[in-house]
Amino acid sequence: MIKTGLYFGSFNPIHVGHMAIANYMVEYTDIDQLWFVVSPQNPLKKKKTLLDDYHRLELVNRAIGDDLRFRASKVEFGLPKPSYTIDTLAYLSEKYPTHQFFILMGSDNLESIHKWKNADVLLANYDIIVYPRPGFNPESAEKYPRVQIANAPLMEISSTFIRDAIKEGKDIRHFLPYRSWDYLQQMNFYKK
């Protein structure tokens, strides 16, 4: 079985925090490879500031470049919206029987997982590796036997910060992988 970490996200846009997390996950956990699964629509987030799906995918692909440990997946583009993780996992598990899937997420998502569709099924059937965000209390995860917490350096960076900074006219190019930043600049994303 190929141990594959699924890093689900809006990636609106992808930032160096995501890349550092992905890098940590492939080097320090059991997973052999990592797929960034770009979600058209998080069921718990508003759509207002969301960039078009294919532009977010392009930003992810540019961030990955030729790093063979990573792949971008647009599987959720073809599934019903909003993007329920349990449904995507059912689809992928059937399509890729030689892969063992792990769910990767930041601790903010673990804190709201009780609101997710079929959260109990998800928590019972999949291993989840959580990347802590500032303020996270690891004891809060002890009730979930299949959740492990990565002992990783913390980062405050978020896509919200990036969008706000661009709107304010700041040059924050080093918060994104440089090829993604180039595309974002060319296309004038998030300026208003």
Ligand X SMILES: Nc1ncnc2c1ncn2[C@@H]1O[C@H](COP(=O)(O)OP(=O)(O)OP(=O)(O)O)[C@@H](O)[C@H]1O
Residues 173, 155: Cα–Cα separation, whole Å: 17
In 64-139, beta strands by DSSP E = 70-73, 99-106, 127-131
In the window 150-179, what residues touch ligand X (CB under 6 A)? 155, 157-160
Binds 131, which of ligand NCN, ligand X, none (CB < 5 to 8 A, cut-off by type)?
ligand X
CA Rg value for the chain: 16
How many Cβ atoms are within 10 Å of 155's Cβ, its own excluded? Answer: 17
Q: Is 5 in the site for ligand X (CB under 6 A)?
A: no
The answer to whether residue 109 forms part of the interface with ligand X (CB under 6 A) is yes
State in angstroms the smallest separation of the CB of 103 from ligand X: 9
Exposed e or buried b per residue across 97-127, where buried means at least 16 C-beta atoms within 10 angstroms of its C-beta: eebbbbbbbbbebbbebeebeeeeebbeebb
**Residue 177 touches which of ligand X, ligand NCN, none (CB < 5 to 8 A by kind)?**
none
**Cβ 171 to ligand NCN shortest distance, Å:** 25
Cβ proximity to ligand X: between 97 and 134 the closer is 134
| Cα–Cα dist 77/75, whole Å | 5
Which parts of this chain interact with ligand NCN (CB under 6 A)? 8-10, 39, 42-45, 83-86, 109, 116-117
CB of 89 to ligand X, least distance (A): 15
Interacting residue ranges for ligand X, rule: CB under 6 A: 9-12, 17-18, 21, 105-106, 108-109, 131, 133, 155, 157-160
